[in-house]
Amino acid sequence: MRRILAAVAVTVTLFAAAACSSETEQPDKAGVGTKVSVGVIPIVDVAPIYLGKQKGFFSSRGIDLTLVPEQGGAPIVKGVLAGKYQFGFSNVTSLMAAKSDGAPLKAVANGVASTGRAGRDFSAVVVADGSPIRSAKDLAGKRVAVNTLKNLGDTTVRQSVRQDKGDPATIQFQAMPFSEMPAALQNQQVDAAWVVEPQLSEVLTQGGQVVASNYVDTAPDLTVAMYFTGTAVIDKDPELVKNFAAAVNESLQYAAGHPEEIRATVGTYTKINDVVRTAMILPSWPNDINRPSLERLATLGRTDGIFTKPPVLDDLLP
């Protein structure tokens, strides 16, 4: 992740070329709209954009939206920089890390936020039934699954361990997709896992236990992820960016007021059963970005060696 810009000149050239071609295709004669691809992660966080597409919030603004699943925020950042996607959904740590390395990107809208309630958040560190791990400090020296290394999962899990008076330096992080984590816990491939919904409820319905609410331990009402684009897209088609951000914000507002529609929507892009669908703890989807929570993550990221230099939030945020 830290070496996203190992070939900056090549990446920017690719991105600029893509920006001049597919990114801002004009609406076709049938009125379908500008074709826009967005890199997303198949977790509950992105349910609003799927629902917003269903409700026509994007098509009404002339956007023909395609949502493409990825494993985590880091590959989505790379995809946007290379011109694979016009927009992306990424956790804020990936975005800050890329920005601190000089990546030409900028957030355009909020994505998702923690509920701020310990034990009732959509993100947690969990263990299998019968595990000797009882609290966050017991994670020291253990194998913990995260979706990508040196990223949001590492930082927030370490903070839970620090807060519980444990040693985060000895945690052995292992990367795998969220969808594989419940089975990995059952098969004892890992000792614990950082999961979000719907995998959190999947683990709990299998008898698993929550040992830490890592987002809550990191910052009150943590802004977890944002939608973003490259500066080349902003420069070439600011109207598209404005319309995309407006559609996202309408989607977030609608999601906050229609939880049952959100639960149904999650099942359209990831496999869940009815028990998990009903049990899921839904995130918060505010339009506003919680800047103090990002400042906290930036400080922790420096401590953990994720950022080579402090990210300048004014350059990243809308």
User: Tell me: the pLDDT tens digits for 137-166?
Assistant: 999 999 999 999 999 999 999 999 999 999
Q: What's the confidence (pLDDT) of residue 74?
A: 83
d(CA 171, CA 77): 26
Q: What is the pLDDT of residues 64-92, one digit of tens each?
A: 999 999 988 888 999 999 999 999 999 99
- Does the domain made of 8-114+221-316 have the CATH classification 3.60.20.10? no
For 236-270, what is each residue's pLDDT tens digit?
Answer: 999 999 999 999 999 999 999 999 999 999 999 99
Rounded-to-integer distance, Cα 283 and Cα 35, Å: 29
The CA-atom distances, in angstroms, between 89 and each of 3, 74, 93, 157, 217 are 19, 10, 12, 21, 23
The kind and range of the H/E element at 12 are helix 8-20
Per DSSP, the three-state class of 229 is strand
Over the stretch 133-144, which tens digit does the pLDDT of each residue have? 999 999 999 999
- Residue found by looking up tokens 């350059």 in the block: 315
Residues 6+ apart with CB under 8 A from 135: 164, 211, 212
Intervals of CATH 3.40.190.10 along the chain: 8-114+221-316, 123-218
DSSP 221: T
**Which is the CATH superfamily of the domain at 123-218?**
Periplasmic binding protein-like II (3.40.190.10)
What region does 58 belong to: left with phi over 0, alpha with psi -120 to 50, or beta?
Answer: alpha
Tokens of 10: 């090549």
Q: Which residue has the tokens 């977030």?
A: 252
